[in-house]
Copies of this chain bind each other. A is one copy, B any other.
Amino acid sequence: MVPGGSESLAPCRRLELNRWGRFDAMTECASRCTPKRPRAPLPTAPHRLHRSPVSPATTGETPGRSGARAAGSQRPSTCVPETAGGARLASSIMSPRNPETNAEMRERSRAKLVEAADDLFSERGYDATSLSAITAEAGLSHGLARYYFDAKADVLAEVIGPRLDASLDVIDGAPGDPDVALATIIDVTLEAAESAPAPQALVLASMLQPGPHDVFAEFEQQHESRLRAAEDRLRSIFAARGASDPVAEEILFRSTLEGIVFKICVYPETFPVAAARRRLHERYGLPDPEPWPGETPDAQTPTPRLRATPRHQP
């Protein structure tokens, strides 16, 4: 419904971005906006991978990717449908808005895009999803999407960055006792994979695929000190447990855990998480763990055959 009346919409006319940065009006506008004239490149901002998927916008920071926004990129102007009551509508939209409200609106649009991308990447795969499809799924205009993200790779960084971050949090936040720490790292990792295999599959596939691999490599570069701390934490856990070669042990442990996560993603229907987890605890000489959700402690391990199930994606 058109604010200010039930007048029919005509193609919109463009307003310059005002000092309150009110480009969010564009999200309400289904018209075919095109830039009026070239404008100066946007100021740059640190890469979004440093932040949570839906980063706090109260800073009022201008979105953009690590200084990489191409020269000539344009800030979308606000646009207002030209209605019979156009003046009234424009006046209503141009009235000053609280900066926090602006920031919230920006953040909402950005979050919508990331959420839509997350869904589509998991459903179709990264390369099979276009930036246009993401903006359409989010119900936003393509221009606004380009305001937030220069390229699809930037959206992927926002989707997988927080998950990679979370996997480091698991190691950072594990309890002090080496045995308890190891058991916690195993259980939290397997629980995350079992409860949401599709997002996890997207992360693993991104690490392997040529284009997305660079997004992953960029994450690692930006988080060097955290990665180092996580590795050292694991090594110290194995050293405290008497490993003769804590470095080799750390690498083999992470490979094993990632291998199980990989198989959960490929075989979400048939992989016996509870049995694999129990055997893993046993292998590392950990105390007998509490039963896994749904696990019957005295039951014999069934004879599962890992088999992939066609997903018949579009």
Contacts and interface: CB of A to CB of B under 8 A. Distances in A.
B247 A301 contact: yes
Given A210-B124, A259-B260, A245 B279 contact: yes
A214 B311 contact: yes
Given A217-B309, A231-B305, A275 B247 contact: yes
Nearest to A127: B127
A32 to B, nearest CB: 29
Copies in the complex: 2
A51 interface: no
Number of contact residues on A: which range applies?
35 or more
A312 interface: yes
Nearest to A215: B310
A17 interface: no
Most buried by B among A126, A216, A247, A276: A247
24 contacts: A125-B127, A125-B209, A127-B127, A128-B210, A207-B308, A208-B262, A208-B265, A209-B209, A213-B313, A214-B311, A214-B312, A218-B310, A220-B307, A227-B307, A247-B275, A248-B278, A248-B279, A251-B271, A252-B256, A255-B259, A255-B276, A256-B259, A258-B259, A258-B262
